[in-house]
Amino acid sequence: MPNTAIATPNAPAAIGPYSQAIAVSAQRLLFCSGQIPLDPKTGALLDGDIAAQTERVLDNIAAVLSAGGMEFSDVVKTTIFLADLADFARVNEVYARWFTKAPPARSTVQAAALPKGARVEIEAIAAK
């Protein structure tokens, strides 16, 4: 079966040559592109502290997962990119509310810069 691009208006549109997610049909895998705290309706970066930005990112991921027929309990791996690792504890507080059972494997790295001046970006891989 061919791979399928996933797109939803409930998450920000791609701002470059990539898909919001790619579903690998035969294995029921979903590879979600990194989400930053963009409002899907306006395309504007959320103006808020790191906790508010992280909530928006996870809202966006939820929309992409849903469009691919999955949910947070299907996520097996995430990567978090932070503009400042000093935000790690606050991001963890928000993240923990979304991943309550058997949290996925995860990596967290500090990036020199993130798209549109975001402070946090998260990508996810889900499997059914």
Strands 29-35 and 3-6: unpaired
Split at pLDDT 50, 70, 90, the class of 114 is very high
Locate 33 and state its tokens. 């592109």
Q: Does position 108 have pLDDT exceeding 80, yes or no?
A: yes
Split at pLDDT 50, 70, 90, the class of 3 is confident
Q: Does position 2 have pLDDT exceeding 80, yes or no?
A: no
Neighbouring C-beta atoms of residue 1, cutoff 10 Å: 8
Cβ atoms 99, 33 nearer than 8 A = no
Domain count, the chain: 1
CATH number of the domain at 57, please.
3.30.1330.40
What pLDDT sits at residue 94? 97
What pLDDT sits at residue 99? 92
What pLDDT sits at residue 1? 53
For 44-87, write each residue's pLDDT tens digit.
999 899 999 999 999 999 999 999 999 999 998 999 999 999 99
Locate 73 and state its tokens. 């309990």
For 19-42, write each residue's pLDDT tens digit.
888 877 656 889 999 999 999 999
Exposure string (b/e) for 39-69, b if CB count within 10 Å is 16 or more? Answer: ebeeeebbeeebeebbbbbbbbbbbbbebbe
**Which residue range is the domain that position 83 belongs to?**
3-127
